[in-house]
Amino acid sequence: MTTAVAESPALRRRTRINVSALLVEGRAFLALVITVLIFSALTPKFLTGDNLIIMSRHVAFNATIAIGLLMVILNGGIDLSVGSTVGLSGVVAGYLLQGANIPFTDATAYPAVWVVVILSLVVGALIGVINGLVITYLKVAPFIATLGMLYVARGLALVITNGTTFNDLRGEPELGNTGFVRVLASRPLGIPMPIWVMVAVAVVFSVLLTRMPFGRWLYASGGNARAAELSGVPIGRVQILVYVFSGVCAAAVGLLLAADLPAATPRGGEFYELNAIAAVVMGGAALSGGRGTVRGTLIGAFLIGFLVDGLVLIGVSTFWQQVVKGAVIILAVAVDQIQEAVQRRTAGTKAARAAADRTPTISS
């Protein structure tokens, strides 16, 4: 370590950077691969096409919420209301499909399915707007604001349904509102709709993050809001928008879940926010903001989903599943922290080296 320094410092430097980069990028992916390998060894049923599709469909719900939530977490916030938004949007769809009473009249409206879908997504967006306004302008901490919204949205879902479930979402041909279940629970090209939605959401948001100014604004305002503001980033607008994205993603999942069952229950999506947070964090995002990717979040969601489904397949009891899941979450983040310390050390070393060298170091 001390003697062979003179030989190829440049080479050594490059390898070290690559190794640390690989650790950061590939850690969750590595864990996913190991999970898949272990379960494939334990049961032949795990690595079959059918099972992969079933598991991915489960993952898709959480992943879609998690990607929306990633936007909030990149901003340095948190959105605890996504689970309730799932429930509320499903219930709103169910209510509209059953026939909505037009206020002050006896008339009942049966909106077309596309209208139902849009209105339900608008509900999600509205929840996001309220979260965003309360956080940005009333300066309520995101944790508190969205904790409150968790109860408000869940409560509204219960109010609308009066605590019961809308069981019939199929609509009537003569009312022109059929197709909700048929389309949202369909399997284009043999792949369930939730997976398509997850893919679409992932593509849209990763393009948003990597190719559009908004992405840069988001990373900057999550990393250092003061510097971002002085650079002309509209940090208020960014902060409101991330909650809207999160709300819309959750509302989309609410629709998919309702079509999947098919029933709109006011209890739909309970505790989904916790799974989503776990996926985002396991995917390498920092809760303090400014760090995280869509790819990482997807890997995090798949890791949790495959882990749980794998445990089911090999017959581990639901009680132990919870214990294992929790332990893996803690382990993943602990590893993340250790890595960050390693990174900081290398960054510090690099800084000192750059300062000491006074000559530009070339590395890719």
Q: Which residues bind another protein (CB under 8 A)?
A: 5, 9, 12-13, 16, 207, 211-213, 216-217, 219-220, 222-224, 226-234, 290-291, 347-364
Q: What's the min distance (Å) between Cβ of 208 and another protein? A: 9
Q: What's the min distance (Å) between Cβ of 303 and another protein? A: 24
Q: Which is nearer to another protein, 139 or 358 (CB)?
A: 358
For residue 190, give the DSSP letter: G
Q: What's the min distance (Å) between Cβ of 82 and another protein? A: 24
Q: Which is nearer to another protein, 3 or 318 (CB)?
A: 3
Q: Which is nearer to another protein, 183 or 286 (CB)?
A: 286
Q: What's the min distance (Å) between Cβ of 352 and another protein? A: 4
**String of DSSP letters for 336-353:** HHHHHHHHHHHHHHHHHH
**Alpha carbon distance 77, 221 (integer Å):** 11
Q: Which is nearer to another protein, 22 or 54 (CB)?
A: 22
**Alpha carbon distance 250, 76 (integer Å):** 19
**Alpha carbon distance 282, 195 (integer Å):** 20
Q: What's the min distance (Å) between Cβ of 11 and another protein? A: 10
Dihedral pair phi/psi, residue 107, rounded to 5°: -70, 150
Q: Which is nearer to another protein, 5 or 189 (CB)?
A: 5
Q: What's the min distance (Å) between Cβ of 344 and another protein? A: 9
**Alpha carbon distance 61, 315 (integer Å):** 23
Q: What's the min distance (Å) between Cβ of 27 and another protein? A: 18
SS (H, E, C) 80-113: CCHHHHHHHHHHHHHHHHHCEECCCCCCEECCCH
**Alpha carbon distance 317, 75 (integer Å):** 38
Contacts for 104-110: CB closer than 8 Å, 24+ residues apart: 110/171, 110/172, 110/175, 110/176, 110/177
Report whether the peptide linkage leading into residue 262 is cis, meaning its omega lies within 30 degrees of zero. yes
Q: What's the min distance (Å) between Cβ of 214 and another protein? A: 9
**Alpha carbon distance 33, 78 (integer Å):** 29
Query: What would the two tokens of residue 79 be?
Result: 């959105």
What H or E segment, with its residue span, contains residue 193?
helix 193-211
Q: Which is nearer to another protein, 1 or 138 (CB)?
A: 1
Q: Are 78 and 265 in contact (CB under 8 A)?
A: no
Q: Which is nearer to another protein, 139 or 226 (CB)?
A: 226
What H or E segment, with its residue span, contains residue 303?
helix 294-313
Q: What's the min distance (Å) between Cβ of 122 and another protein? A: 22
Q: Are 40 and 47 in contact (CB under 8 A)?
A: yes
Query: What would the two tokens of residue 263 be?
Result: 């029933």
**Orientation of helix 49-74 relative to helix 193-211, angle to 10°:** 40
Q: Which is nearer to another protein, 13 or 325 (CB)?
A: 13
Q: Which is nearer to another protein, 150 or 228 (CB)?
A: 228
Q: What is the largest CA-CA distance in the chain?
A: 90
Q: What's the min distance (Å) between Cβ of 170 and another protein? A: 38
Q: Which is nearer to another protein, 186 or 363 (CB)?
A: 363
